[in-house]
Amino acid sequence: MYKETVMKVRELIKELKEQGLDVHDEYALESNPPYVALYYSEKMHGRKFLELVISSDCGVKEKAKEAEFTRVKFHEETVLSPINLKNLSSGDEGPINRQVKIEELIKDNVVAVATMSYNKVKELYESK
């Protein structure tokens, strides 16, 4: 059975919102590599739970929403059970420093990783 591994930024945001998650997006298109940051809560500072690394030819927000992402970076304290993934360090400082490459994920697992990272950031924020 074929499992879909390609997912667009807007598809993931839609899936997360359909689950009732309060997701807000910000586009860092000038970064190298460019990425889309997803936040828990509209008060974004300190509440990032995911970065979706996209190709460098997505120069405008509308084009970036339609982009397929190649890596997912998530919160360092996210527990990925029961998903068994090869977890790579991104080399970044800060809490969003674990990543997986998309070819290792099926679409359902992308949503699961995003949801687990969202829940971890929400838990950490609400415990302050």
What are the domain boundaries of the chain?
9-126
pLDDT confidence bin for 1, thresholds 50/70/90: very low
pTM for the structure as a whole = 0.81
So what CATH class is 9-126? Answer: alpha beta
Q: What is the pLDDT of residues 60-113, one digit of tens each?
A: 788 888 888 888 888 888 877 655 555 555 556 666 666 766 566 677 788 888
3-state secondary structure (DSSP) of residue 13 = helix
What type of residue sits at position 105? L
